[in-house]
Each structure stands twice: as C-alpha cells, then as structure tokens.
Chain A
Amino acid sequence: MNKHYETVIGLEVHVELATKTKIFCSCSTAFGGAPNTHTCPVCTGMPGALPVLNKQVVEYALAVGLATNCKINKYSRFDRKNYFYPDNPQNYQISQLYLPICYDGGVEIEAAAGKKIVGIHEIHMEEDAGKLFHDEEGTLIDYNRSGVPLIEIVSEPDMRNADEVIAYLEKLRLIIQYLGASDCKLQEGSMRADVNLSVRRAGAKELGTRTEMKNLNSFKAIMRAIESEEKRQIELIEDGKEVVQETRRWDDGRECSYPMRSKEDAQDYRYFPEPDLAPVIISDEWIERIKGAQPELRDEKRVRYRAEYDIPDYDIDIITSSKKMADIFEETIKLGARPKEVSNWLMVETMRLLKEHECEPENIKFSPQNLAKLIALVEKGSINRTVAKEVFEVMFCENIDPETYVHEHGLGMVSDEGALKEIIEQVIAANPQSVADYCNGKKQALGYLVGQTMRAMKGKADPQLVNKILAERLNV
C-alpha cells in the first residue's frame, strides 16, 4: 500500500434472515426446493395480492440492531424501490429508505492496527429477489428466493484496509450467528458484502470519489478486491486521471473488476412509502423483551470462559469463533466432561477433521451427548486414545453412539492381564533381536516391542500397562 494515500472503506452487508417463512407471505424460505414451488400469489407479484409483514423479521432486525448498539426507530416504515427487472416480480422491491428500523450504531473491532469502532449508519429490512437462469433458449425464473427476508447493514466509512474490513465482517458474522438471526454463509450467499471504497492523499480531509464493488463471495475475494481497487484508484490519480463514481463487478477468477454502471446511468428508484403496509411501531416493551431474550454473545462468552474454565486464551478464541462449537463445548461440559478434555477434542481432532472434510464448524454433526460419552469411555479406561480417535472419526461423520459402536465392534480394552501376558510372550519370542537390543541397553527397543504388542492386540490394550508388563518381564 502506497503510504502517500489513505483508503476509506464502508460496507453494505446483506444478511439473509433465518426465518422459516418469507418476509411478506407464508411461503417457506427453505433452500433447494424445485423451482417455483415455494411461491404464492404474493411472492410472484400476482394482481391483487398484498404483503403482510412477518413479525419474526422485525424481531431479528431489532436483535441485530440492539447487539450492534444501534438506536431503534420506534416508528419505522417500508418504502417501494421501483425498477424493472424480471427477478423482481412486482417490478418494485419493498425495502426501507426513509425510516429504517435501526440507525446510528457501531461495533468494536480488533485488527492488526489495534482496536477501533466501526460505525453503523443504519440497518433496514427488505425482500430478496428471485433467480434467473439463462441458456440458449432463453431465460427462466425461479421465484423461490423472491421474498426471502434480508437485512442490510450499512456501515460508516470507518475502515482503512482489508484487515479491518475482515475483522468487521467477522464481528458481524459472529454477532448475527450467536443471535441465531442468520447462518451468515458468504459462499451460499446468506451474507453478502458490497465494498464502497475511495482513496485520498494521506492527511486529506475530503473524501475521494468512491466506487462500489459487487460480487464478493468470500473473505479472500473481499481482500483481493480491496487491494486491487486501492491500486487501481491510486494509479488513476497518479496518472492525473479521475476516479469515476460507479458500481464495479469483481471477477475473482481473473482477480480484477469491471465497471457495471456509472453514476450517470444510475437508476432513479422513485422511492415512496409502501401503501400496502402499515408503519412498524416498536414499543419500549418490545425492545426490552428482545433485549431480555438476547443470548450471551461472543465477547461475553470469552470473558466468562476465561474466568470459569482453565483453558488457554487461544483455545477460547477458536472455540467461541463459532456458535456451534461454543454450544457443543458448553453442553458437553454440562454432561460431566472436563473442560480441558472437551477443548482438546474440539481444538485438535475436530479442527483437523473439519479441515480434511472442508467444512465449517456450523456443519458439525456429532452431538455433545456422544462426545461426552466418548470422553467418559477414555477416562474410565474402557478404550485407549488411539481407539477413541478412530471412534471419533466415525462419530464426526455419522454421529454414532460411541458406547454402542465400541461394543459392537469389540473395541473395548482387554483388561485381562493373563491374556495380555500371553501375547507379550509371543511378541518376545518373535522379536529376539529387539529383546537383545533392549537388554544391551538400547532402551528405545522397548517402544518397538510395545508397538508390536499393541498391534497384536489390535489396539485394544492400555499402552502404559503393556509398557509396564514388558519392562518388568525383560528386566527380570
């Protein structure tokens, strides 16, 4: 980054809310139905159909607003944004322009440059559009997504680099996931960010001309797009050219952006108050109820974990970086497992398998009950750690009951010392060289013999016990 310039970034973040039904009708929001099966006269813009606001949308918007320190417009309203496009069945989108539900908030982020507050200009509610499919024969429309509820979180231009942008997005994602208001998956589009970016000479007070970047489908794409756009704008200025106010589309494959439309061809959306919907009146009691129902958020959890559990800060950060992980962690402890033990399973085996299977913590399948059982099996000495790891892998994929699994597959440890000794005699007989090595002072040879014994026992022995018996037998 050129140190003679400062980058100024603001974000518009769209979040798809986790309601069961759409914002203005009772159609399902479920993903992946056959085209146009989750539709009705309202969300396909049939003549005479009327919207009715889904109360849960307001509650989620309020919850996000309160958790991001916003003020609440107690008299809020919907407006129509008029534009023609086939994915929008009414040719207007019901959104909020004049009186958005939340405004004037902010969240604290922690980036490489330290802590700072990123202001939130407003949060408003709106409906999603349908999907178009283009092929040689023409264009098809699926209105299943039409009317899926969204909130748009508009930040102040308070960010200065990609690092801060990512920290802000992570912060929003965690708050919203913890609230249960959305799963916030960038790849699947349930969280989408448009980046407004301008550059100015270091120390300048006036903002430069900004561009808006769309089609950013991952944190990596956002980082690359920001770096590319900073560079592009600085180069323009250095060359004595002007930055054009426009909307650009990021092509992550080619790592560059293209202009979509300039300010001159910006549409006039002819916003006006939606006459088919009553104003949204929010009482103090309602706000208090939402506040009261707010779950413990990540920052609060981190503080509590530090106080309650003896685990490293690093572990706390990882575990709380996903609501799902934090929930499993707490549930498993409630079932009697030691925090350190639970943390280890999450930090090591779970993280490894997530990476291997390329999935997110939100997709974890195993239940806290089964993890608690597995931990108990190890603690009781019913299985050893090696076996436990194998069982865990199966559990990770299928959420099997570890007790049943261990029993059915005969994985329990052989506690019969007689049987163990018999095997050890066989191993000693079969490996005279190693025995000789050990007796000649090569202590590592014992490890080999333990390994051979474990293999012969198919892992179902306590390695410490094997070690002990072997050592005793050979030291005679």
Chain B
Amino acid sequence: MSILSLTAVELGRKIKAKEVSVSEAVEAVLAQIETYDKEYNCYISVDREGARTRARKVQKLIDSGELTGQLAGVPMAVKDNICTKGLLTTCGSKILESFVPTYSAQAVLNLENAGAVIIGKTNMDEFAMGSTTETSAFGVTKNPWNTQHVPGGSSGGSCAAVAADECFFALGSDTGGSIRQPASFCGVTGLKPTYGTVSRYGLVAYASSLDQIGPVAKDVTDCAAVLEAIASYDPKDSTSIKRDDYDFALALTEDVKGLRIGIPKDYFTDGLDQNVRAAVQSAARLLEENGAFVEEFDLSLVQYAIPAYYVIASAEAGSNLARFDGVKYAYRSKDSKGLHEMYKKTRSEGFGEEVRRRIMLGSFVLSSGYYDAYYLKALRTRKLIKNEFDKAFEKYDVILAPAAPTTAPRLGESLIDPVKMYLSDIYTVAVNLAGLPAMSVPCGVDLKGLPIGVQLIADCFKEKNIIRAGYSIEQAVSREKCEAARAAESKATEARN
C-alpha cells in the first residue's frame, strides 16, 4: 500500500509506529505534486525546502517523544488566504502577489504545534470570491476527477489537492460554502465549524461575520482530527468562543439510533440535478436504515438567503478589502500622479473582475440612502433565517441537504453568468448567515462519474451530530461500494466461467 493512499490519521499512526518517516511522507507528497500539479494547479506556491527542513525537525520531536499528536508529521496544505509566516500569502490576487506575512494564522500555529508539516499554499478564487477557483490570478485549478471540470470554490485548490493526494489534508475557508461546495465537487470531506470555533486571526478577511476556517480531508475521521487540532479559543480574535468540547473524535460512531434528521423540502426543488437528488436521498435512507429518524420539513426562508448573503458579504468585503491600496505593502501601480490616481490604478489593476464587482456592490448597499433598504434589510433577514433554523433544531439534530445543486460544472461555464453562479450557492449560504456548523460528505457520483456530496448541518456547537451522521453515511457508502465492487467482480468471474 502506498503512503499516499493512507488517510492523515492512518499516516500519523504509521509515523508514530516508525513504519513511515516524516521525510518519506513529505517526499511522497512532493513527488505527487511534481507529477500532477502542472496539470491540476492545486498550489500557488510549494515550500519544498521548508517542508523538508520541517520534516526533519518534526521527526526529531516525535522520536524524542515531545510530539505525540495524531497529526504529527503529516504533510498538509493551507489555502492561500490564511497567513503563514515567511510564506507567500496571495489570496489568489495580483494585489497580494508579493505579500509575505510576518505572522501565522492561529489555526496554522495550532497545526504546527500538533506537528503537521506545511507543504504549500493552495489556489483559490481571488479573495475567496467565486465558486469555481477560476477567478484566481494564478490560473484555474482543474478537478482531478475530470480535468474538463472545475473543482468548485473558493477552496478549490485545497479540495483538489486532497482529492489528488497532493497532501493528506488541507485548510480551507468557508464564507458562503467555500469548503463544502468544492469538497462535494472533488469527492472529499469538508467541514465548516460553528462561527467562532476556529480563530480568524490571520485569515485574510472576506466577510468577517461569515468567514470560518475549516478542514478539508480524505474522510470524516481526518476531518474530526484536524478540527480538534485547529479549534481553540483565541484572545486575538474577539469573535472567538471558548468551548469545552474539543473532543470531536468521540463522535466517530456509526450508531445513529434516535438521531433526528430533517430534510428541508425547499432544497429539493426544480433547480436540483436528478443525480444529486438521488444520491442525497440515498444518503438519508442509509441513515434511516441505521436507525435514524428522518422526515421532511419546511425551511422556506432559505430562499432569501442568497440576496441577504450577497448584500452582507459584499458590504463587509468592500470595507475589508479597502486596506489593499498600494500604500503599505504588496502591489502598487507604477507611475501614478498623485494619491488618488495611485489608489485607482493599484486597485483597478490589482483586483480581478469578480472582486471589483463585489466591492462595488458592497459600497452601493452601504451608501447613504440605500443602507436601510439593503444592508439593514439583509441583517433582518439574517436574523429571521437564524430564528427559522433555531426552530428546526428544536425538532432535529441534523439537517440533511445537498451541498450544491449540480456536480462540478465544466471549466469556463460559470463565470459567463455571475448571477447564475451566485444562485448555485443556494444550499450553503444560509449556514454561514446563521453561524452553523456543516459538513459535506461524499455520497455518490453522477452519470459522468463526478462526485456528489451530501451536506449535514447542525445547530451551533453541535459538530458532533454531523460528525456522527457523516461517519455513519461514509461507512455505509464505502460498504456499498465494496459490495458493488464485489458483485461486479463475481459477475465478471461468472461471465468468464
């Protein structure tokens, strides 16, 4: 069995057992990147020498017994909007093409303390604005399942890297579905934690009240392990929350007896692809067969989630991105006359079209005379959506839904019609508006063989519910796969005989 086919937790165990060295794991990943990344373009930058040096250091600490965590020595990737001290952090934007932070995000520090080894920084939609990883200033990332297709976004680089075995797990960020949707498109597991669970310090803000860093991993077990490592109370982030239940791995059980699953009828309407619908419904059936209680319910307000989301996210983004002005760091347009021309040229040249569109939208909804009609109304809608989720979670432990209306679109298809692209976020944005935890778990493939993810949503701080349901689905799906494979094999044998 090759090193690359191991999950992060399996690799960690083998490293601890001295069956695999940290350097071997790092070299295996670097070789995989060498072979495949020219094609997939998962990474914006790969820190080969840094990773090798770090591998030796971590190995010593493991050998001396100072590092004992389950991720010690495991190579990982970090989305390029998460600051890494001394490593280029571009946010997929020309405006930060030369930005090297002097500090690391708290989530990165937590992983380094756990002994994980950073391999490189992954591609993304510029400033996490996009659903395809096509708005990056560093080229598109291709879906490893089918390179004619996008990996989804904005954490497309992270999800594709995990899918292509170019790392064992990765960090993504999720503002409106940016972990869950690409995880679904790339057939990997991605979790967006409850708002405030992972420190945002060092995450370059897109929309502060919606952003959360989360794990992208090969399976639910890895997801839980990474979440345990990155979740922490951080006094540097005022929206960080102290929790006393960081033992997420405890929820890794197939037993879902008595778990109450709600399926929002409003999510299964005409826009939903038939293959996706079937796969998601079969995931629900698997839970039911394992003893969960499953029923449909109304979550009608979610239809307002997209407009509310785009108003709030754009408003915050417009303000958050104001600091990229050519004055202090990174890109500055040359030969400008005067301050205002420098501002204009730097920002017009430095930002891509989608980012400029959202900055304009954000400035508009906050401008005097429009604030009440757009921004305040969006805030009220957000509150109503939260209330509706609160009511639903009185009845259900987990809400089960698709992660995206379709499987991965073909490259170049989505950016033609931005509004249509925004609408494809329909199943994910409400979760961010309400601050909820949610996970996308692979549950099948469509006729073209592209992966489908089922989204599991829980009430705030109830990650364990979705980890439990996700683990149960994952085990059942892999059993089904094995059975199908066995059946196919025996059929083939029969035919041969």
B96 within 8 A of partner (CB): yes
> A87 vs B322: C-alpha distance in the bound complex, in angstroms?
13
Q: What are the residues of chain B within 8 A of A272 when measuring CB–CB?
A: 315-316, 319, 366, 371, 375
B99 within 8 A of partner (CB): yes
> A173 vs B392: C-alpha distance in the bound complex, in angstroms?
55
Shortest Cβ gap from B318 to chain A (Å):
8
Interface contact tally, CB-CB below 8 A = 99
A51 within 8 A of partner (CB): yes
Interface of B is mostly: loop
Shortest Cβ gap from B364 to chain A (Å):
9
B339 and A276 contacting across the interface, CB-CB below 8 Å = no
> A41 vs B102: C-alpha distance in the bound complex, in angstroms?
8
> A80 vs B371: C-alpha distance in the bound complex, in angstroms?
14
A48 and B363 contacting across the interface, CB-CB below 8 Å = no
**Cβ contacts A76-87/B at 8 Å (1 or 0 each):** 000010101010
Q: Name the segment of B36-44, B197-205, B485-493 touching the other chain.
A: B197-205
> A48 vs B91: C-alpha distance in the bound complex, in angstroms?
11
A117 within 8 A of partner (CB): no
A270 and B366 contacting across the interface, CB-CB below 8 Å = yes
A441 within 8 A of partner (CB): no
B239 and A270 contacting across the interface, CB-CB below 8 Å = no
> A345 vs B268: C-alpha distance in the bound complex, in angstroms?
88
Q: Specify which of B207, B209, B328, B375 is in contact with A89 (CB 8 Å cutoff).
A: B328
**Cβ contacts A40-57/B at 8 Å (1 or 0 each):** 010011111111110000
A47 and B201 contacting across the interface, CB-CB below 8 Å = no
Shortest Cβ distance from B324 into A: residue: A47
> A82 vs B239: C-alpha distance in the bound complex, in angstroms?
21
B237 within 8 A of partner (CB): yes
Q: What are the residues of chain A within 8 A of B367 when measuring CB–CB?
A: 268, 270
B343 within 8 A of partner (CB): yes
A46 and B101 contacting across the interface, CB-CB below 8 Å = yes
Q: Specify which of B99, B203, B209 is in contact with A275 (CB 8 Å cutoff).
A: B209
Most chain A CB atoms below 10 A, which of B315, B316, B322, B368 = B322
Q: Specify which of A44, A49, A141, A278 is in contact with B238 (CB 8 Å cutoff).
A: A278
Q: What are the residues of chain B within 8 A of A86 when measuring CB–CB?
A: 325, 327, 339
B323 and A91 contacting across the interface, CB-CB below 8 Å = yes
Q: What are the residues of chain B within 8 A of A53 when measuring CB–CB?
A: 238
Most chain A CB atoms below 10 A, which of B83, B89, B236, B329 = B236
A48 and B101 contacting across the interface, CB-CB below 8 Å = yes
Shortest Cβ gap from B19 to chain A (Å):
38
Q: What are the residues of chain B within 8 A of A276 when measuring CB–CB?
A: 205, 208, 238-239
Chain A residues 154-197 with CB under 8 Å of chain B are: none
Q: What are the residues of chain A within 8 A of B476 when measuring CB–CB?
A: none
B299 within 8 A of partner (CB): no
B328 and A275 contacting across the interface, CB-CB below 8 Å = no
Question: Known: A48-B105, A49-B201, A272-B375. Contact between A82 and B322, CB under 8 A?
Answer: yes
Chain B residues 359-392 with CB under 8 Å of chain A are: 363, 366-368, 371, 375
B209 and A92 contacting across the interface, CB-CB below 8 Å = no
B328 and A44 contacting across the interface, CB-CB below 8 Å = yes
Shortest Cβ distance from A24 into B: residue: B238
Shortest Cβ gap from A144 to chain B (Å):
15
Shortest Cβ gap from A129 to chain B (Å):
13
A423 within 8 A of partner (CB): no
B319 and A47 contacting across the interface, CB-CB below 8 Å = no
Chain A residues 252-270 with CB under 8 Å of chain B are: 268, 270
Shortest Cβ gap from A136 to chain B (Å):
15
Q: What are the residues of chain A within 8 A of B371 when measuring CB–CB?
A: 270-272
Using CB atoms and an 8 Å cutoff, list the residues of chain B in contact with chain A: 82-83, 89, 91, 96, 99, 101-103, 105, 200-205, 207-209, 235-239, 315-316, 318-319, 322-325, 327-329, 339, 343, 363, 366-368, 371, 375
A-B contact pairs, 19 of them (CB 8 A): A41-B101, A41-B102, A47-B83, A47-B91, A47-B96, A47-B323, A48-B105, A48-B202, A49-B103, A50-B201, A52-B235, A52-B238, A82-B319, A84-B343, A91-B323, A141-B327, A272-B316, A275-B239, A278-B239
